[in-house]
């Protein structure tokens, strides 16, 4: 082809234009890759902003001050995009360096209204509400309920019906203590067609709905109600809930390929009874319940809290219950051909487990371990609570629900419990050590809740839940000693919570300021119960096992809910235990009613003839970026201090293992500072928070240039038996948390302690899980930064050093339960940091799994259960074989023989894919709610798993925010798993672009839930961790240049 001169000239001009454009682009992006950020640019406009402030302020001493590291270098320009805001200048002091001023640019913290925006006009704008409180009036209390429920269209799917209605006839006998012209009950989404009194002169009510309070106001102005007993009769209609597992709900599940079945059930915890029938839905109000259900006896099985009183082909009536709160009342209707029941009589109690037949296993063997746990729990309760068979419900029905979208994974009512089915059905040959103990804990905890469901108000509901959780540990410790679960308590209940609990927007355990129903739902969370359980564990440690058991056994027999906590507290004498006038109630309330936790500074000075220890406490806030202005800076917790001291020095020669005195110091610390002089003793080290009982972070400091001397001694003591496993875990947990908050202890100390753990891993059975948990926590942000190379290399070298640098030693069979836990955890971490040998090993082990495992769920996998889930996940992720992914997907969606364990493992592996289109396909398929391919409980698991996949986090976030209204319509504002989802997605967000996206999202879709603010807090924490140089400090500490990891000693 020939070119003319004109053509060539045009081409030259085109090239010149391209060069000019390239130069212009270079100038345009230059400001984005330099650390010096302009203060004149504006990306978004943020109102009502305040500057981040330093937290953990000094506690009356120049020796404890937070300091800022110099982050003025350009180290972060490659990972942190520029930010347009006014830089914050912070002046800080330390005893080690002269006063310096560090200029750091941080995100502006935005304050905004988290209450929902009104979408409809206020119906009370021009008139007064007939009743204006979210609490029920106290002059009317129910004595008994008689409820008749019919649902003619509940047992068939009718496409023409947009919603399914149920109908109720309710009779409530009420004790009225003051003459009145009105009654107020709770009712939500119920249409009351008639309300009348059949006593006290009769009279029809004028019905006024108060939707903002979820109440109904019944006006009897024409027929005033006198003092005494009255009977209220109500006819009403409700909508069967198909949105989530609350109120009276219908849950769909796969019967066979392409064939859907369903069950009906009631879940009224904590404030959902009002969605099923008008009632007095407050936890301190109790009454008896008599229930009649209309159903076809040939097609469905009806269950409730008590046994059957009478029945015929179309109705069933149950015996009256004992006095219960509404949240302890329930019922269920199961399709006969889809649920089998297996019955075992334990003592005098008939226990029935209802579950789908394909999950029973040969000869019902998949339920054997569950019955074993139940029987041992009953025996434990009889001995610990001093109760007999007569104190138990006459029967206990336990239902395995195929799709239960509850954060607690179970729902407890008197005599009737529902669990996610995977906790009831177990092929033990596929159960890993972790799953064994987790499944056991869930079952035990919720059975124990039957005895501790009473409470006087929502701010006290933590007690029954937390006590049940703690007693579950005690039961398992007594009956499954190989688990050593009580020793694992700190790493299972305290460590995971502490990295959230320092945030200013977290709830306290006992929240006295609840003012709305939305706040109740937001507040009642597993994290609240876990912290409460840790405080009860501490209380038992202080007063002793026998005293604690006696107090618990007295609570069981109390009928007046207002006396439960006061009776419990009255059993403890702190004067005897700690020589203090502080009562047990005052001690616990100082923790229960205050959010966050303290940092305890232990200033340790050893002289020639004495040892001086100065204790100081203040609030720990783990990031400069968080706004702690609403917290009391001078608050003092009542801290139980218990310290070991040890070591001696003779003529300048140290011996750290001599002169060890256990619990040398034991007292209650309730002031800002306290000094102890120990004469005639020259100790070299001190270890407080003995055995990791207290919910606190502890920093040990020495005077002068030896400020971290105690920590250096810990490095030596780590391989000695003087410190317990939990003492080592506590020290290492402190060493991870303190640098995160910018304390004196930095990551050099953390890494030095990790390098010191070079003996048999089992001797650090609780310390290593602390390392793995924190490493995984930091990896969420590290794997998106330039620091990841050293980060993953350190983890690889540290673990391999324990196993002679041989991956086969890591995946060899563990001899004990603890060894199995450790090896499973280590192999998972090696794969997550993409260690090549571990990934090859995952693929090798995947090749050993026989096809029969996928087709008929046989337990013969040729792979130890501890590694099976990890093998599936990382082989699917790294093999990049589309046929294998499709094969796994087909088994997940179409194989009716798949077990509960397999379904969980398969779903997690499917979400590991590196290809965005596969992850997108999962999200789109799961979001086809009409197809019901993915169960509701799995839907949240999918989004969370994809958000934790480095390749999928942006996909999950964009999907969530762009489809938020669809999700809100599907799950509703009362679904706690849905509300919590935003914090899971934002867990690894580490720069200001995510921050501004989150701010814009929250401004567009404000929620009354505090989880939106917690998500913002998490982004600020992650972002601050980079710009304050903490990531850089960690990177330098783990650099392999001059600090090789110690190999295992022979």
State which CATH number among 1.10.10.10, 1.10.390.10, 1.20.210.10, 1.10.3720.10 fits the domain covering 339-456.
Answer: 1.10.390.10
Only one residue has tokens 């001995």, namely 383
The reported pLDDT for the residue numbered 249 is 93
Whether the pLDDT of residue 204 is over 80: the answer is: yes
Q: What b/e sequence results for 904-922 when a residue is b if at least 16 CB atoms lie within 10 Å of its CB, and e otherwise?
A: bbbbbbbbbbeeeebbeeb
Mean pLDDT of the chain: 86
The reported pLDDT for the residue numbered 358 is 85
Average pLDDT rounded to a whole number, residues 169-175: 97
Please return the burial class of 879, using the count of CB atoms within 10 Å of its CB with bins 0-12, 13-18 and 19+: middle
The reported pLDDT for the residue numbered 17 is 55
pLDDT bracket for residue 942 (50, 70, 90): very high
Average pLDDT rounded to a whole number, residues 332-350: 94
Task: Extract the tokens encoding 870.
Answer: 């990890």
The region, left, alpha or beta by phi > 0 then psi within -120 to 50, assigned to residue 611 is beta
Average pLDDT rounded to a whole number, residues 139-153: 96
C-beta of residue 481 within 8 angstroms of C-beta of residue 497: no
- Before 270, cis peptide (omega within 30)? yes
Only one residue has tokens 């409820």, namely 147
CATH class of the 915-1041 domain in this structure: mainly alpha
CA distances from 383 to 389, 475, 523 (A): 11, 11, 33
Whether the pLDDT of residue 935 is over 70: the answer is: yes
User: Which residues are registered as beta bridge partners of 600?
Assistant: 617, 698
> Using CA atoms, how far apart are residues 23 and 159, in angstroms rounded to an integer?
62
> Using CA atoms, how far apart are residues 918 and 926, in angstroms rounded to an integer?
12
The angle subtended at Cα 1049 by Cα 1046 and Cα 1050, nearest 5°, is 155
Per-residue pLDDT tens digits for 693-709: 999 999 999 998 899 99
The reported pLDDT for the residue numbered 847 is 95
> Using CA atoms, how far apart are residues 624 and 494, in angstroms rounded to an integer?
23
Which residues does 874 contact at the CB level (< 8 Å), separation at least 6?
A: 831, 838, 839, 842, 912
> Using CA atoms, how far apart are residues 150 and 315, in angstroms rounded to an integer?
9
Whether the pLDDT of residue 951 is over 60: the answer is: yes
Average pLDDT rounded to a whole number, residues 918-935: 86
Strands in 23-98 per DSSP E: 49-50, 88-92
- Before 620, cis peptide (omega within 30)? no
> Using CA atoms, how far apart are residues 886 and 150, in angstroms rounded to an integer?
44
Task: Extract the tokens encoding 567.
Answer: 């009776």
DSSP letter assigned to residue 432: -
Task: Extract the tokens encoding 400.
Answer: 């395995």
C-beta of residue 277 within 8 angstroms of C-beta of residue 171: no
Q: Which among 291, 296, 301, 336 has a CA at the least distance from the CA of 313? A: 296
DSSP letter assigned to residue 163: S
- How many C-beta atoms lie closer than 10 Å to residue 346's C-beta? 17
Only one residue has tokens 């027929």, namely 223
Strands in 30-83 per DSSP E: 49-50
> Using CA atoms, how far apart are residues 212 and 516, in angstroms rounded to an integer?
9
- Three-state SS string over 772-825 comes to HHHHHHHHHHHCCCCCHHHHHHHHHHHHHHHCCCCHHHHCCCCCCHHHHHHHHH
Helix (H) or strand (E) holding 610: strand 610-619
Per-residue pLDDT tens digits for 590-603: 999 999 999 999 99
C-beta of residue 819 within 8 angstroms of C-beta of residue 433: no
Per-residue pLDDT tens digits for 712-753: 999 999 988 899 999 999 999 999 999 988 899 999 999 999
- Which residue would you say has higher pLDDT here, 1001 or 621? 1001
Q: Supply φ then ψ for residue 572, to 5 degrees.
A: -110, 135
In CATH, the number for domain 596-760 is 2.60.40.1910
Do 142-336 and 596-760 come out as alike in CATH topology? Answer: yes
CA distances from 472 to 56, 73, 389, 422 (A): 35, 52, 20, 19
User: Which residues are registered as beta bridge partners of 102?
Assistant: 90
Which residues does 486 contact at the CB level (< 8 Å), separation at least 6?
A: 473, 474, 476, 477
Per-residue pLDDT tens digits for 1029-1049: 999 999 999 986 444 444 433
- Which residue would you say has higher pLDDT here, 44 or 813? 813
Mode of pairing for the β-strands spanning 315-318 and 288-294: antiparallel
> Using CA atoms, how far apart are residues 895 and 882, in angstroms rounded to an integer?
19
C-beta of residue 393 within 8 angstroms of C-beta of residue 831: no
Whether the pLDDT of residue 62 is over 80: the answer is: no
The reported pLDDT for the residue numbered 48 is 35
Q: Which CATH architecture has domain 142-336?
A: Sandwich (2.60)
> Using CA atoms, how far apart are residues 954 and 931, in angstroms rounded to an integer?
26
In CATH, the number for domain 483-593 is 1.10.390.10
Only one residue has tokens 């509400």, namely 129
Torsion 91-712-798-913 (CA) sign: negative
Least confident of 526-535, 557-566, 748-757, 942-951: 557-566
The reported pLDDT for the residue numbered 809 is 96
Number of H helices, E strands in the chain: 32, 33
Only one residue has tokens 């912290």, namely 531
Least confident of 164-173, 195-204, 460-469, 985-994: 195-204
Give the residue extent of every domain in the chain. Answer: 142-336, 339-456, 483-593, 596-760, 915-1041
Least confident of 189-203, 278-292, 534-548: 189-203
Radius of gyration of the chain (CA): 31
How many CA atoms lie less than 13 Å away from 510 in the CB half-sphere? 20
pLDDT bracket for residue 292 (50, 70, 90): very high
Per-residue pLDDT tens digits for 358-407: 889 889 999 999 999 999 999 999 999 999 999 999 999 999 998 787 77
The reported pLDDT for the residue numbered 23 is 56
Helices 1011-1027 and 767-782 meet at what angle, rounded to 10? 90
Q: Supply φ then ψ for residue 700, to 5 degrees.
A: -105, 125
C-beta of residue 468 within 8 angstroms of C-beta of residue 444: no
Q: Is 292 helix (H, G, I), strand (E, B) or coil?
A: strand
pLDDT bracket for residue 563 (50, 70, 90): very high
Contacts of 311-316 spanning 24+ positions with Cβ under 8 A? 316/292
Per-residue pLDDT tens digits for 830-842: 999 999 999 999 9
Which residues does 336 contact at the CB level (< 8 Å), separation at least 6?
A: 298, 299, 300, 301
Task: Extract the tokens encoding 534.
Answer: 């840790």
Q: How many whole angstroms from its chain centre is CA 1048? A: 36
Contacts of 733-738 spanning 24+ positions with Cβ under 8 A? 733/490, 733/494, 733/495, 733/498, 733/692, 733/697, 733/770, 733/774, 734/697, 734/698, 734/699, 735/711, 736/770, 736/774, 737/498, 737/499, 737/620, 737/622, 737/697, 738/599, 738/697, 738/699
């Amino acid at each position: 082809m020939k070119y003319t001169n004109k053509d060539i000239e045009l081409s030259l001009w085109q090239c010149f234009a391209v060069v000019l454009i390239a130069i212009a682009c270079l100038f345009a992006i230059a400001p984005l890759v330099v650390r010096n950020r302009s203060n004149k640019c504006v990306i978004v406009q943020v109102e009502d902003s305040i500057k981040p402030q330093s937290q953990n302020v000094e506690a009356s001493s120049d020796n404890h001050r937070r300091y800022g590291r110099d982050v003025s270098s350009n180290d972060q320009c490659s990972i942190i995009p520029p930010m347009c805001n006014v830089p914050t200048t912070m002046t800080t002091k330390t005893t080690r360096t002269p006063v310096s001023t560090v200029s750091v640019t941080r995100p502006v913290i935005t304050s905004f209204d988290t209450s929902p925006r009104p979408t409809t006009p206020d119906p009370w704008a021009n008139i007064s509400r007939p009743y204006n409180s979210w609490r029920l009036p106290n002059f009317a209390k129910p004595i008994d309920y008689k409820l008749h429920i019919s649902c003619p269209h509940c047992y068939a799917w009718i496409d023409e019906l947009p919603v399914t209605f149920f109908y109720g006839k309710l009779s409530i006998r009420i004790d009225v203590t003051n003459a009145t012209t009105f009654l107020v009950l709770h009712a939500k989404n119920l249409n009351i067609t008639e309300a009348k009194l059949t006593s006290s002169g009769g009279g029809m009510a004028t019905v006024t709905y108060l939707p903002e309070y979820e109440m109904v106001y019944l006006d009897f102005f024409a027929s005033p109600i006198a003092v005494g007993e009255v009977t209220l009769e109500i006819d009403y209609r409700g909508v069967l809930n198909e949105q989530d597992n609350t109120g009276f709900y219908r849950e769909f599940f796969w019967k066979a390929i392409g064939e859907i079945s369903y069950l009906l059930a009631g879940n009224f915890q904590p404030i959902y009874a009002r969605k099923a029938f008008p009632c007095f839905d407050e936890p301190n109000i109790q009454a008896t319940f008599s229930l009649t259900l209309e159903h076809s006896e040939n097609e469905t099985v009806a269950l409730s809290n008590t046994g059957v009183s009478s029945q015929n082909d179309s109705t069933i009536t149950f015996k009256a219950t004992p006095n219960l709160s509404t949240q302890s009342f329930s019922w269920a209707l199961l399709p006969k051909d889809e649920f089998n029941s297996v019955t075992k009589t334990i003592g005098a109690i008939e226990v029935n487990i209802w579950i789908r037949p394909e999950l029973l296993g040969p000869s019902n063997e998949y339920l054997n371990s569950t019955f074993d746990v139940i029987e041992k729990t009953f025996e434990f309760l009889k001995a610990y609570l001093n109760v007999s068979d007569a104190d138990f419900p006459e029967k206990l029905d336990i239902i395995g629900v195929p799709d239960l979208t509850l954060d607690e994974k179970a729902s407890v009512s008197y005599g009737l419990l529902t669990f996610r089915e995977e906790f009831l059905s177990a092929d033990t040959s596929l159960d890993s050590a972790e799953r064994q103990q987790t499944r056991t804990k869930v079952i035990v905890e919720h059975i124990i809740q039957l005895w501790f469901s009473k409470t006087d108000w929502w701010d006290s509901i933590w007690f029954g839940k937390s006590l049940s959780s703690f007693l579950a540990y005690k039961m398992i410790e007594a009956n499954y000693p190989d688990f050593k679960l009580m020793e694992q308590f700190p790493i299972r209940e305290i460590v995971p919570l502490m990295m959230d609990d320092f945030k200013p927007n977290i709830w306290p355990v006992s929240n006295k300021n609840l003012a709305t129903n939305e706040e109740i739902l937001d507040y009642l969370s597993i994290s609240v119960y876990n912290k409460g359980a840790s405080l009860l564990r501490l209380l038992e440690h202080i007063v002793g096992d026998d005293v604690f058991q006696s107090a618990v056994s007295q609570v069981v027999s109390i009928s007046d809910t207002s006396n439960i906590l006061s009776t419990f507290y009255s059993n403890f004498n702190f004067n005897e235990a700690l020589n203090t006038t502080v009562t047990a109630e005052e001690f616990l309330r100082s923790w229960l009613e205050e959010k966050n936790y303290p940092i305890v500074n232990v200033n340790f000075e050893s002289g020639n003839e004495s040892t001086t220890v100065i204790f100081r406490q203040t609030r720990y806030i783990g990031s400069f970026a968080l706004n702690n202005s609403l917290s009391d800076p001078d608050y003092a917790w009542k801290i139980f201090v218990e310290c070991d001291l040890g070591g001696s020095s003779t003529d300048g020669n140290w011996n750290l293992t001599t002169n060890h005195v256990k619990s040398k110091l034991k007292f209650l610390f309730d002031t800002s500072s306290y000094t102890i002089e120990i004469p005639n003793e020259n100790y070299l080290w001190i270890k407080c928070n003995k055995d990791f009982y207290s919910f606190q972070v502890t920093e040990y400091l020495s005077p002068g240039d030896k400020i971290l001397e105690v920590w250096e001694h810990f490095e030596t003591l780590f391989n000695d038996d003087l410190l317990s496993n939990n003492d080592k875990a506590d020290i290492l947990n402190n060493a991870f948390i303190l640098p995160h908050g910018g304390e004196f202890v930095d990551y050099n100390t953390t890494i030095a302690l990790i390098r010191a753990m070079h003996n048999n891993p089992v001797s650090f059975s609780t310390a290593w899980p602390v390392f793995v948990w924190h490493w995984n926590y930091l990896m969420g942000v590290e794997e998106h930064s330039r620091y990841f190379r050293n980060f993953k290399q350190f983890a690889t070298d540290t673990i391999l050093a324990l196993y002679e640098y041989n991956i086969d030693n890591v995946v060899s069979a563990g001899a004990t339960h603890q060894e199995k836990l450790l090896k499973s955890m280590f192999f998972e971490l090696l794969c997550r940091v993409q260690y090549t040998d571990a990934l090859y090993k995952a693929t090798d082990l995947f090749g050993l799994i026989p096809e029969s495992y996928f087709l008929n769920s046989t337990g013969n996998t040729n792979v130890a259960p501890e590694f099976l889930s990890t093998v599936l996940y990382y082989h699917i992720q790294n093999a990049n074989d589309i046929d294998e992914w499709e094969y796994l997907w087909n088994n997940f969606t179409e194989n009716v023989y798949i077990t509960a364990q397999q379904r969980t493992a398969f779903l997690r592996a499917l979400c590991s894919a590196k290809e965005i289109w596969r992850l997108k396909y999962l999200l789109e398929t799961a979001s086809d709610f009409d197809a019901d391919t993915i169960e509701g409980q799995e839907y949240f698991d999918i989004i969370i798993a994809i958000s934790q996949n480095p390749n999928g986090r942006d996909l999950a976030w964009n999907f969530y925010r762009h489809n938020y209204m669809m999700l809100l319509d599907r799950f509703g504002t009362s679904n706690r798993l849905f509300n919590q989802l935003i914090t899971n997605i934002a867990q690894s967000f580490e720069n200001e672009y995510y921050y501004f996206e989150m701010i814009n999202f929250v401004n567009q879709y404000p929620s009354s839930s505090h989880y939106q603010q917690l998500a913002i807090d998490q982004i600020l924490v992650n972002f601050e961790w980079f710009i304050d140089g903490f990531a850089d400090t960690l990177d330098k500490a783990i650099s392999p240049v001059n600090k090789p990891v110690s190999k295992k000693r022979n």
